[in-house]
Each structure stands twice: as structure tokens, then as C-alpha cells.
Copies of this chain bind each other. A is one copy, B any other.
Amino acid sequence: MKSGRPLRSEMKKTPPLVTAKANNLRLDRQLCFPLYAASRLITRLYQPLLEPLGLTYPQYVVLLILWEDAPCSVSHIGERALLNSNTLTPLLKRMEDLNYIRRTRSVTDERVVEISLSKAGTLLKGRCACIPESLNAAISYSPEKAVALKRSLDELISKLQALPETLARNA
């Protein structure tokens, strides 16, 4: 095996322009990777707090939305969580099996499934109230930095959401 650090050796074989491009492919130059890694690490951090409640992290996100907006439609949850029915439908069925939510066809529009909180689901909010500060305490990350990071991410997300769908040009 090798040590994790990249070496200078390959710079001797390739002309400068190719090398410059190749250097852009270094893992530690990518913005995408820390996003991918941080997201998974954070999910792992939530897990021990959510597991006693029988919840996964995406289910917790859905609950955050429901505590604000319930009752609401599946597509409303999808808009806020950036998830589609192919992910949400089975997830919501599992949450219904857990008895935290109810799924009922809307009377006024039979296409819509209304998601509402059960009593247990409503009460869960109290049991989860300490989770945010537990996590903030666990990672000793200063509130200012956290807010700045969140702002950067929100800006990035809005840019990403505003993109046209197709950019499959090169390759």
C-alpha cells in the first residue's frame, strides 16, 4: 500500500497542461467530497440519538417538516426535503407502521395523500427537543462558524436548485 499523501513523482512524466488538469482531480481539491463525507458523518452522529426512537435520519427530517406543517401532502414534504415519492412513499409507510404518522387520502382531491401526526408523533417532538443542542455540544463547533457554514451551504443549494437540468455536454 501507500501512505495517504499524494506524491510529486507523477509530475515528471506529463506535460504541464495535462498535469494542471490532472491536479484538479485530486480528492483534496474537490468541494463535492467534503460535502459527501460530512453529510454521512453527520448522519452517523444522529443515529445513536434516533435509534432509540426507531427513527432513521431521513425519517427525522420528515418529522421536522411535519412538526411545522402537518397535516400536509406528500409532495409538500418532498418540496421541503428535496425528495420524491419514490423515496417518500415507502419511508412514510414505515413511519406509519411505527405509529408516528397517519396517511389518508384527501377528501377534496383523491390524488393527494394527507400526512398527519399521530399522538405519538406529536409527543415525539418533546423527546427530540434536546437533540439539536446535544449535537452542537458533541461537535464543539462554534455557533458563529456553524451559522456561517449553514449560510454558505444555503447559498450553494439555491444555486444548485436554480440550475437548468441539462449540462450533459462533455465526456
Interface set of A (CB-CB < 8 Å, partner B): 1-2, 4, 6, 18, 21-22, 24-27, 29-43, 45-46, 48-53, 57, 61, 64-65, 67-69, 72-73, 76, 79-82, 112, 125-135, 138-141, 145-146, 148-150, 152-157, 159-161, 163, 166-171
Contact = CB atoms under 8 A, between A and B. Distances in A.
Contacts of A148: 152
Nearest to A159: B139
Nearest to A160: B41
A contact patch SS: helix
A129 B65 contact: no
Copies in the complex: 2
Given A129-B18, A161-B41, A168 B24 contact: no
B25 A132 contact: yes
Nearest to A161: B41
